[in-house]
Structure 1
Amino acid sequence: MTNYELQTLVEEISLQYFHKPFRHRAYFNPRLRTTGGRYMLGSHNIDLNRKYLEEHGTAELVGIIKHELCHYHLHIEGRGYKHRDPDFRNLLQKVDAPRHCSALTTTNRNQRNLIYSCSKCNLTFKRKRRINTSKYVCGRCKGKLVFREEIKQDS
């Protein structure tokens, strides 16, 4: 599906379910990683994640579009467009839009745990990101931190 086809799909869904036109841009954003879509408050555009279309199909994408259009139309009308607002929840239910999108299986990347220990009290620290050992010290005894090992986990 191209961005042009996506734009026409969003416009059709907007007219069919909301009975209001969508007058801004909808496009696939390759930088989206953890979310199915995003409504931009400043520009009123909608970014969508192409991976949801490839992995879950058109039905999931249509649900994400309906969810983002709920944000769009409520924000344009000056009503409560946030997830916790009753207006938003009622409109989600009315148009049968999902509150959350399904999880992607392809986003599970290889995770790692870095093991550090204190040179004085031997307290071990597990971290996902590197620690600058010349800058940070042990929280218990203020001893010097030493890198021990890296454990890679396949998710």
Structure 2
Amino acid sequence: MTNEELQQLVMKISANIFNKPFMHEAYFNNRLKTTGGRYMLRTHHIQINPTSFELYGLEELEGIIRHELCHYHLHIEGKGYKHRDKDFKELLKMTNSPRFCANLVSTKRTTRRISHVYGCMSCGLLYRRKIRLNTSKYRCGKCSGPLMKVE
């Protein structure tokens, strides 16, 4: 889907569901990582995460657009447009808009990068550390022997 097609879709949803015109720009923003979309207060533009469309399809995209249009129309009218506002929650229900988008961030934990390995010169115990340590300041916790950088 191109930005022009997205613009037309947002204008169509705004006219059909909200019965109000969308007079600003809607476009994809590849830099959005954790959210499905974003309404910009100063410019009134709507940015959409293209990953949400690629992963979950048109139905999820339309839900995100409806959610962002709730922010848009309430802000233009001077009503409560924030997630915690009563006006916003009521408009979400009226338009059948989702409160949250589908999860975009993987829940897989990243492994810790270990770049420094130290060994005890007496007992041979290894210490793996992300941050470099001063071997003249620290000793082995097991036998109090001196430490030496292994890798």
Q: What range is the shorter-chain TM-score in?
A: 0.7 to 0.9
Partner of 1:104: 104
Instruction: Kindly state the Cα deviation for residue 103 of structure 1 after the two structures are TM-superposed.
Output: 1.1
Instruction: Kindly state the Cα deviation for residue 77 of structure 1 after the two structures are TM-superposed.
Output: 0.5
Checking the alignment, whether the CA contact within 8 Å between 2:25 and 2:45 is kept in structure 1 is yes
Per-residue CA deviations over 1:87-142 (Å, capped at 9, x if unaligned) read 0000000000000001136x4576122579xxxxxxx9x9xxx65768xxxxxxxx
Is residue 69 from structure 1 mapped to residue 66 from structure 2 by the alignment? Answer: no
Distance 1:131 1:67 in 2: 44
Regions of 4+ moved over 4 Å: 107-110, 130-134
Checking the alignment, whether the CA contact within 8 Å between 2:14 and 2:69 is kept in structure 1 is yes
**1:111 partner letter:** T
Distance 1:80 1:45 in 2: 18
Q: CA 1:148 to 1:74, structure 2 compared with 1: closer, same or farther past 3 Å?
A: farther
Distance 2:79 2:89 in 1: 12
Partner of 1:143: none
Is residue 90 from structure 1 mapped to residue 87 from structure 2 by the alignment? Answer: no
Q: For structure 1, which runs of at least 5 residues remain unmatched after alignment?
A: 117-123, 135-146, 150-155
Secondary structure in structure 1 of the residue aligned to 2:16: helix
Checking the alignment, whether the CA contact within 8 Å between 2:67 and 2:92 is kept in structure 1 is yes
The CA RMSD measured in Å over matched residues stands at: 3.4
Distance 2:20 2:110 in 1: 44
Distance 1:26 1:66 in 2: 12
Q: For structure 2, which runs of at least 5 residues remain unmatched after alignment?
A: 117-126, 135-148
Secondary structure in structure 1 of the residue aligned to 2:92: helix
Partner of 1:56: 56
Distance 1:66 1:43 in 2: 18
Checking the alignment, whether the CA contact within 8 Å between 2:33 and 2:104 is kept in structure 1 is no
Distance 1:47 1:131 in 2: 39
**1:98 partner letter:** P
TM-score by length of 2: 0.74
Q: Percent identity?
A: 54
Distance 1:5 1:24 in 2: 14
**1:13 partner letter:** I
**1:8 partner letter:** Q
TM-score by length of 1: 0.72
Report the structure number with the largest CA radius of gyration: 2
**1:113 partner letter:** R
Q: Aligned residue pairs: how many? A: 133
Distance 1:10 1:148 in 2: 59
